[in-house]
């Protein structure tokens, strides 16, 4: 089922993609260097001290024996209908909350806790950032590598009623970031989404999937025991400094053919395609990036201070 974008639908879907939700229509912004410099003119937060994305160096990360990240409900089929949307900045998937009937059937909405998180965070949606070439596209850089694509799975702190409220607090959101690396064959994890990109090839198109899937099927090859985490912001206007980032170094597979499906989407400007939708790297400043200590197999990571206390997370932010 194809849906033409109305103002109401545009406003709703932009909430899940984490772009400006406080205007009556979808907020448009660009990704060229000049356009990104203009973000802070309209949104002062975009020039803040705790902005994202950043470059991560494993040897400079603080190595901590923090708890595992618990992905509750990630193996369950998501409640439908799942909507896929091209908003001109990205491709997003929105997942509805379970109905009362579904709740009675034991279907629960996915949520996460653990790591450095002090609350439970409930799933809101997911979206992608990608490049025109295979040497760029991901927003974060890991050990001087910029992957061709990055997926963000957004979660809201359960103590806030919606994303708009959560953006006002430093612990409002948690975003899980996953990298993609080019391989010869199609990535099976991504196939579910790629084969449904053509109905949203035009700007402001929405398509209702006639099937469902689990979040775990999208990340089945990732070792979620190992991750980096830091305090940061949205990577789109209004750049609210409300995000705890959790990034997994194990890349997911994607083929050139699959990448080209993303690269042929329209960004709403005549004759232009949606590519290079990633923000420039931001200064780390006095923040610290933490990496979870799992076992001795991770000894290649530089342990800066084995006795670093968890409370330092708060006063370094």
Closest by CA to 240, choosing from 182, 135, 160, is: 160
Q: 3-state DSSP call for residue 102?
A: helix
**Residue 127 appears among annotated catalytic residues:** no
Write down the catalytic residue from 43, 63, 85, 89. 89
In angstroms, the CA 181 to CA 256 distance is: 10
Q: Which residues pair with 111 in a beta bridge?
A: 72, 122
Q: 3-state DSSP call for residue 45?
A: helix
Helix (H) or strand (E) holding 179: strand 173-182
243 CB burial (10 A radius; 0-12, 13-18, 19+):
buried
In angstroms, the CA 204 to CA 159 distance is: 31
Q: In the Cβ-directed half-sphere of 211, how many Cα atoms lie within 13 Å? A: 6
Residues forming the active site = 89
């Amino acid at each position: 089922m194809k849906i033409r974008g109305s103002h109401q639908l545009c406003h709703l879907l932009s909430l899940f993609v984490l772009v400006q939700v406080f205007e009556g229509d979808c907020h448009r912004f660009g990704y060229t260097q000049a356009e990104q410099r203009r973000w802070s003119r309209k949104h002062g937060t975009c020039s803040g001290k705790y902005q994202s994305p950043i470059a991560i160096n494993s040897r400079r990360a603080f190595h901590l024996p923090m708890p595992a990240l618990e992905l509750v409900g990630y193996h369950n089929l998501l409640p439908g209908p799942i909507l896929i949307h091209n908003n001109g900045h990205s491709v997003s998937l929105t997942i509805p909350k379970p109905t009362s009937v579904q709740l009675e059937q034991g279907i629960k909405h996915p949520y996460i806790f653990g790591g450095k998180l002090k609350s439970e965070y409930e799933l809101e949606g997911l979206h992608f950032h990608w490049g025109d070439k295979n040497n760029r596209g991901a927003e974060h850089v890991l050990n001087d590598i910029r992957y061709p694509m990055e997926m963000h799975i957004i979660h809201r702190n359960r103590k806030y009623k919606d994303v708009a409220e959560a953006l006002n607090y430093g612990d409002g959101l948690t975003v899980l970031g996953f990298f993609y690396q080019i391989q010869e064959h199609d990535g099976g994890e991504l196939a579910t989404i790629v084969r449904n990109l053509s109905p949203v090839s035009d700007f402001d198109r929405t398509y209702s999937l006639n099937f469902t899937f689990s979040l775990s099927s999208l990340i089945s090859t990732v070792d979620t025991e190992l991750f980096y985490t830091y305090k940061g912001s949205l990577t789109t206007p209004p750049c609210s400094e409300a995000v705890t980032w959790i990034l997994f170094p194990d890349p997911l597979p994607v083929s050139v053919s699959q990448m080209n499906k993303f690269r042929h989407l329209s960004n709403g400007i005549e004759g232009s395609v949606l590519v290079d939708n990633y923000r420039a790297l931001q200064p780390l400043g006095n923040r610290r990036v933490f990496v979870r200590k799992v076992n001795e197999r991770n000894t290649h990571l530089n342990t800066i201070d084995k006795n670093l206390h968890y409370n330092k997370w708060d006063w370094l932010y």
